[in-house]
């Protein structure tokens, strides 16, 4: 397949990490990433100007999440990803599984709700529109596990094992649309699981873990299928340029290994985040219970002791 329509050089030299990390700007993702950083920074500044704090850890997480998108879309990784299945799989895994988790840890929706001023009684402004969207039927559907888990799985099997992938890779718009899709699917899949930002679905911690593990094994199975294949499974990468000096089947095996290994990374990151949230949730509940006990003189304990005394008196 000729990728010259993407404005890239078909005579790329053999891939090395140094060559892959060279700057190669993709205007759409560069503009979107800079805009996201600017809006996030504006929100943090607004909060601090009125004397409210915002956790540094969230700022770091969001910034690193945006940088991870720039890493795979605004370097020559994006160029090599057009002709090497293995490099494309790195792009896919990062932008669909690592970047969304980091972005969500930055709590951008919470920041927006705190930073945007109310429009006033009877008026609708950006904050009111955001709240309306968060409570809309559309968001309830696209963040429900019955939707997120199947679309997360379909982004692998229905894309790579059908002619759809070759069709999208045939144009720059198709390729960009596919990358935006990967990012969007990752965000809606991990949003209710992370539970950092408000949303229509806030399952308990155990249910979040079950949702996480319901999707992750399919990434591993997908990777194993690519590694075990004896022929190239994706037409786009079946005839790599001679200048790369690679074998299509070997490159596909590498792509499968990357997909298989990468499925563990988000699981670990999300589990760490969930355990951290769970611990702090229990700590807050314990502090609330202690404050309530201080206010009412621990009436529950007194009632329990009275109950024990009544039982003893009956004997």
In this structure, is residue 9 part of a structural domain?
A: no
Residue 271 has pLDDT above 80, yes or no: no
Percent of all residues in the chain with a pLDDT value above 90, rounded to a whole number: 50
Domain ranges, residue 280: 15-311
292 in any annotated domain: yes
Residue 30 lies in a domain: yes
Check: CB of residue 134 under 8 Å from CB of residue 199: yes
| 8 is a domain residue | no
Per-residue pLDDT at 195: 74
CA dist 273 and 147 (Å) reads 23
Long-range contacts (CB closer than 8 Å, 24 or more residues apart) made by 175-180? 175/6, 175/82, 176/26, 176/28, 176/29, 179/29, 179/73, 179/91, 179/95
Residue 300 parent element (H or E): helix 299-314
Q: Which of 236, 234, 195 is nearest to 105 (CA)?
A: 195
| Chain segment 26-81, per-residue pLDDT in tens | 999 999 999 999 999 999 999 999 888 899 999 999 999 999 999 999 999 999 99
Greatest C-alpha distance within the chain: 93
Model confidence pLDDT, tens digit, residues 209-265: 788 778 778 888 899 999 999 999 899 999 999 999 999 999 999 999 999 888 777
Band the pLDDT of 19: cuts 50, 70, 90: very high
6 domain residue, yes or no: no
How far from chain centre, in Å, is Cα 283?
27
Residue 5 belongs to some domain of the structure: no
Decide if 102 contacts 112 (C-beta within 8 A): no
Establish if 7 belongs to a structural domain: no
Vertex 21 angle, CA 156 and 28, to 5°: 65
Question: Is residue 10 in a domain?
Answer: no
Does the pTM surpass 0.85? The reply is no
**Dist. CA 26–CA 179, nearest whole Å:** 12
Total count of domains within the chain: 1
Half-sphere exposure of 291 (CA within 13 A, CB side): 6
**How high is the pLDDT of residue 117?**
87
């Amino acid at each position: 397949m000729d990728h010259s329509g993407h404005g890239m050089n078909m005579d790329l030299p053999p891939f090395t990490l140094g060559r892959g990390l060279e700057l190669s700007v993709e205007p759409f993702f560069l503009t979107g990433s800079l805009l996201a950083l600017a809006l996030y920074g504006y929100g943090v500044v607004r909060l601090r100007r009125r004397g409210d704090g915002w956790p540094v850890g969230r700022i770091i997480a969001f910034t690193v999440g945006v940088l991870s998108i720039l890493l795979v879309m605004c370097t020559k990784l994006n160029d090599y990803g057009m002709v090497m299945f293995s490099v494309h799989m790195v792009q896919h895994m990062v932008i669909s599984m690592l970047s969304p988790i980091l972005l969500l840890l930055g709590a951008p929706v919470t920041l927006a709700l705190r930073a945007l001023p109310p429009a006033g009684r009877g008026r609708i402004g950006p904050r009111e529109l955001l709240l309306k969207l968060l409570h809309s039927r559309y968001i309830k559907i696209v963040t429900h596990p019955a939707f997120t888990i199947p679309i997360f799985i379909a982004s692998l099997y229905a894309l790579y094992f059908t002619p759809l992938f070759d069709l999208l890779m045939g144009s720059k718009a198709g390729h960009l649309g596919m990358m935006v899709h990967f990012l969007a699917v990752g965000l809606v899949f991990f949003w209710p699981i992370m539970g950092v930002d408000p949303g229509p679905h806030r399952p308990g911690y155990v249910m979040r873990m079950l949702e996480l593990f319901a999707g992750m094994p399919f990434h591993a199975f997908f990777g194993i299928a690519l590694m075990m294949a004896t022929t190239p499974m994706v037409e786009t990468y079946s005839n790599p340029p001679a200048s790369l000096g690679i074998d299509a089947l070997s490159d596909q095996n590498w792509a499968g290994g990357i997909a298989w290994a990468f499925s563990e990374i988000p699981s670990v990151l999300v589990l760490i985040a969930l355990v951290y949230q769970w611990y702090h949730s229990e700590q807050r509940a314990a502090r609330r219970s202690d404050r309530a006990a201080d206010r009412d003189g621990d009436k529950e304990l007194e009632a329990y002791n009275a109950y024990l005394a009544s039982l003893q008196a009956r004997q």
